[in-house]
Structure 1
Amino acid sequence: MNTVDLALAAVQALVYLLLAPLLVGWVRKAKAVLQNRRGASVLQPARNLRKLFAKEARVAHTASPLFRVTPYIVFTATWLAAAAVPLIATKLPTATVADVIVVAGLLGLARFFMALAGMDVGTAFGGMGASREMMVSGLAEPALLMAVFTLAMSAHSTNLAGMVDHQLAGGSLLLPSTLFALGGLVLVAIAETGRIPIDNPSTHLELTMIHEAMVLEYSGRHLALLEWAAQLRLMLYGALIANVFFPWGIATTPTLSALAAGALAIVAKLALLGLLLAVAETVLAKKRLFRAPSFLSLAFLLALLGLLSHVILEQGL
């Protein structure tokens, strides 16, 4: 491990911070165009973050210290989880900790503190959002682990960089297990990032909101950190889908040309995924809350079918 590798790992972590608001802005812009609206600039989410950081953070008098430290914990845990997912290159110092169990654990830590903070102030919306978040996450995490373990059985490792290298070497995208795992992970990503049809991040309707209900009491820099963490979570799942299942273009050597190609490849893949997400949210309607378990059960079933396909059909290939 040398200074150049450490610098590249730091740059990749910073790229996550910069691209996350742009990805959200791209999805919103694409949705606006599909709905015959002009829409805001792609840079608008970044401008909103800057505006929130400049405002004073107001805290309810019933809030405990937990309520104040939660935004920092959630943002740090989400950023660390995102930085562990290979984005531009695989041969980086972060590859040693880029384990799917570590990433799931960091996301679970952020979710745990978000739920506690939602209930801390004692408002009805906060407690309602926390209970809904725990219900969704309790169904989404098994499907997430099952989907990634399907690839881990082929790569013989739960390390994400190892899975990417295995996909590049083996070209196993068309295997049934990989396709089933991809379908399950896509459904999990939609639920975990609070997108339609599970949640609608652009509304504050008390009958439907999940994530937004837990952040209603936050303002200023606290709200900015939570919004940034939510954008990082969408970026994380986008990078996970793009590079684990479609790893073409990612740099395997730390040369300038390979890193430039990796940067262009991930921007193109994320732009395409954002466009597909915008199309899906335009043509689909939000499901009722009690239908969320069925949606996530389908994700788990697809991941399980992928695992069984690998064991029955592809063992020894």
Structure 2
Amino acid sequence: MGYVAVAVQLVAVVAGAPLLTGLMRQTRARLEGRAGAGVLQPWRDVRKLCRKEAITPVGTGPAFRWAPLLLVATSLVLAVLVPLVSTDTPVSIRADLIVVVALLALGTLALALAGLDTGTAFGGMGASREMTIAALVEPTILMAVFALSIPAGSTNLPIIVAGAVDQPARLGSPAGLLAIAALAVAVLAETGRLPVDNPSTHLELTMVHEAMVLEYAGPDLALVEFGAQLRLTVLLGLLTSLFAPWGIATTPSLAAVLLAALVMVLKVTVLGTVLAAAEVFWAKLRLFRVPELLAGSFLLAVLAVTSSYFLGGE
């Protein structure tokens, strides 16, 4: 039954990631008074890009060619490891916090190296900005989840989630509230959302993620976009699993797994819709203000760890 849970979770994430992106774009379009392209537009974009010819700029090396595959591969591994549907799977023992953050960093590093490999001004600029943000985001994720791991006695994510299901009072503790605030900001930065980055911009002075992938086209661009959608879905799912773990299957039952998958889809959909609606009223921060925001989130994570240590997560 554990393998069934892993398969169900992987299928739900892979099939739903573009749909989540389409739903968020459609939500923003409706709130801004536009018709929007439709929820299925990301899947249509993937199909269109896969039919085009892959173009590799002259002078690029293996970093540029392998970055899209590495980004998608790490995202798929994350989709398997992170406990979104069940805490009792064959891979639960390997779903450690350090491993998850390392996989996130590996995907980010691959894109940054690809941006540098092109030798263009925009690629180098985007890679520099991305690594500056990552240097503040990855420690924040580590510290925020570590605050939740202290009461659980383990950095294993399924154990942390199972403990939150059994003792929901932890989530209302000072450590839990500080951790969710820190992790929420980190997720926005990691996925390139407002106010840290604008996923729909093409202005040279504000681009971060887009600047690194300007030279990609065809199937390679489809992989890059699909990988970003997978990361967004997994990180939003991780946020709901840690701070709203109700509905996750803790027993090896087919009915529990299917119900947990349905609940997971509902929670991620609601969170994505709320995020898209909030972005309509947010403005992108100036680039020099972004480190201040991320440093503030890291401070919240440190306070969460301190509170969890001295108060025992109560």
Instruction: State the TM-score bracket (shorter-chain normalisation).
Output: over 0.9
Matched, 1:101 2:73: no
Task: Kindly provide the amino acid, as one letter, of the partner of residue 156 in structure 1.
Answer: G
Structure 2 counterpart of 1:206: 204
Instruction: Give the aligned residue type for 1:138.
Output: A
Q: 1:141 aligns with which of 138, 143, 148?
A: 138
Match in the other structure for 2:127: 130
User: Which residue, 254, 272, 275 being the options, matches 1:274?
Assistant: 272
The secondary structure found in structure 1 opposite 2:195 is coil
- 1:160 maps to 157
List aligned pairs for 1:261-300, cutoff 5 A: 261-300=259-298
The alignment's TM-score, normalised by the length of structure 2, stands at 0.97
For 1:174 and 1:7, how far apart are their aligned partners in 2? 32
Q: Which moved more, 1:178-187 or 1:72-81?
A: 72-81
Deviation at 1:53, TM superposition (A): 1.3
**3-state secondary structure, aligned to 1:93:** coil
TM-superposed deviation, 1:209:
0.6
Give the stretch that moved more between structures: 221-230 or 14-23: 14-23
From the superposition, tell whether residues 54 and 254 of structure 1 become closer, same or farther in structure 2 (CA, over 3 Å).
Answer: farther
SS in 1 for 2:275: helix
Partner of 1:236: 234
8 Å contact from structure 1 (residues 64, 120) kept in 2: yes
Secondary structure at the counterpart of residue 203 of structure 1: coil
Change (3 A) 1:306 1:160: same
**Corresponding residue number in structure 2 for 1:180:** 178
The answer as to whether partners of 1:119 and 1:130 remain within 8 angstroms in 2 is yes
Contact 2:12 2:261 in 1 (8 A): no
Question: Of 85, 90, 106, which aligns to 2:87?
Answer: 90
- Contact 2:97–2:156, Cα closer than 8 Å, also in 1: yes
What are the ranges of 5 or more consecutive residues in structure 2 without an aligned counterpart? none
Shift of residue 298, structure 1, vs aligned partner: 1.3
Deviation at 1:71, TM superposition (A): 1.0
Report the more deviating stretch, 85-94 or 282-291.
85-94
Shift of 1:313: 2.5
Q: Give the equivalent residue in structure 1 for 2:307.
A: 309
Does the alignment pair 1:45 with 2:47? no
2:54 is matched with 57
> Secondary structure of 1:173's partner?
helix
Alpha-carbon separation, structure 2, partners of 1:19 and 1:253: 24
Determine the C-alpha separation between the residues in 2 that align with 1:41 and 1:94.
36
AA aligned opposite 2:253:
T
Match of 2:27 in 1: 30
* Shift, 1:312, TM fit: 2.4
Q: Write the letter of the residue equivalent to 2:185.
A: L
Find the aligned partners of 1:301 and 1:33 in 2 and give their Cα distance.
36
Q: Which residue of 1 aligns with 2:246?
A: 248
Contact map agreement 1:157 1:163 (CA 8 A) in 2: yes
What is the number of residues matched between the two proteins? 313
Cα shift at 1:41? 1.2
Structure-1-length-normalised TM-score = 0.96
Question: Tell me, what secondary structure is at the counterpart of 2:65?
Answer: helix
Q: Tell me, in whole angstroms, the C-alpha distance in 2 between the residues paired with 1:35 and 1:312.
A: 46
Distance in 2, matches of 1:257 and 1:53, equals 37
User: Which has the larger displacement, 73-82 or 222-231?
Assistant: 73-82
